[in-house]
Chain A
């Protein structure tokens, strides 16, 4: 485990750069992680992020299909928001653990 500074806050991250404690997360941190992934966050991104965080709190195993059925965006839209990493990048930006599902 390592410590990284985002938006002036020190957070604990895994080797892959995922926050280990979702409660350390805030929107400024999200914006800086997103910048590392080459993404400028919009309201739509935050809708997905909020959804992922809420589902993660419930202990759900996250999948892109779930996001596609959430009514926020469809699968294609999700790929547009988080190119080349619809679940991994969005999870990292959302400050939650690296996804463990295969779908």
Chain B
């Protein structure tokens, strides 16, 4: 094997989850879990509606938006009409389908996924601003959340050598 270019592996990531739909939450969790599996030091920061991922009562109940989601398709590939998305039960049906499709690929429910990330050494943080704004209590949050921090503390945690890649999903 000839090693002409020296590859510098990524060492640290901070992944920010700010939105609370199924796909927004999973995008962050899949990236975080993947990073942990690569031996990358991984931290997650949940803010605004992304907090749903770490609120015990809501974490496994996220939904996919069936209104205002122009990329969404019917199972056959035809565009999904926004008007249809407004009908009762459609959002729940689509969300259940998203979850079952992911389960088929061995993607766990949110709470279990968080357990996996933490088992590998990943760390979870909640946003102080969103925490105060939503009037949450510490016991509302998943026990795996390490701390409720300010944005200043986020940057402090991201410091050190080598620096951290901050990823906003």
Q: List the interface of chain A (C-beta within 8 A of B).
A: 2, 15, 61, 63-66, 68, 74-76, 79, 83-88, 101-103
- Mask, B115-149, CB within 8 Å of A = 1, is 11001110000000000000000000000000000
Q: Could you tell me how many residues of chain B have their Cβ less than 8 Å away from some Cβ of chain A? A: 17
* Listed A/B pairs (19) with beta-carbon separation below 8 Å: A15-B1, A61-B106, A63-B106, A64-B37, A65-B106, A65-B112, A68-B116, A75-B116, A79-B119, A83-B39, A84-B38, A85-B38, A87-B37, A88-B38, A101-B106, A103-B30, A103-B33, A103-B34, A103-B108
Chain A interface SS verdict (over half):
loop
Q: What CA separation (Å) do A24 and B47 show in the bound complex?
A: 50
Whether the pair B106, A76 counts as a contact (CB closer than 8 A) is no
Nearest-neighbour CB distance to chain B for A35, whole angstroms, equals: 17
Q: List the interface of chain B (C-beta within 8 A of A).
A: 1, 30, 33-34, 37-39, 105-108, 112, 115-116, 119-121
Whether the pair A102, B39 counts as a contact (CB closer than 8 A) is no
Q: What CA separation (Å) do A87 and B30 show in the bound complex?
A: 15
In the complex, the number of residue pairs spanning A and B with C-beta atoms less than 8 Å apart equals 45
Q: Which residue in chain B gives the minimum CB-CB distance to A99? A: B37
Q: Provided the pairs A2-B1, A102-B30 are in contact, do residues A86 and B120 lie with their beta carbons within 8 angstroms?
A: yes
What residues of chain A lie closer than 8 Å to B34, measured between beta carbons?
102-103
What residues of chain B lie closer than 8 Å to A83, measured between beta carbons?
39
Nearest-neighbour CB distance to chain A for B54, whole angstroms, equals: 19
Q: Provided the pairs A64-B37, A83-B39, A86-B37 are in contact, do residues A103 and B105 lie with their beta carbons within 8 angstroms?
A: yes
Whether the pair A79, B121 counts as a contact (CB closer than 8 A) is yes
Nearest-neighbour CB distance to chain A for B70, whole angstroms, equals: 25
What residues of chain B lie closer than 8 Å to A68, measured between beta carbons?
116
What residues of chain A lie closer than 8 Å to B33, measured between beta carbons?
103
What residues of chain B lie closer than 8 Å to A63, measured between beta carbons?
106
Q: What CA separation (Å) do A15 and B1 show in the bound complex?
A: 7
Q: What CA separation (Å) do A61 and B37 show in the bound complex?
A: 16
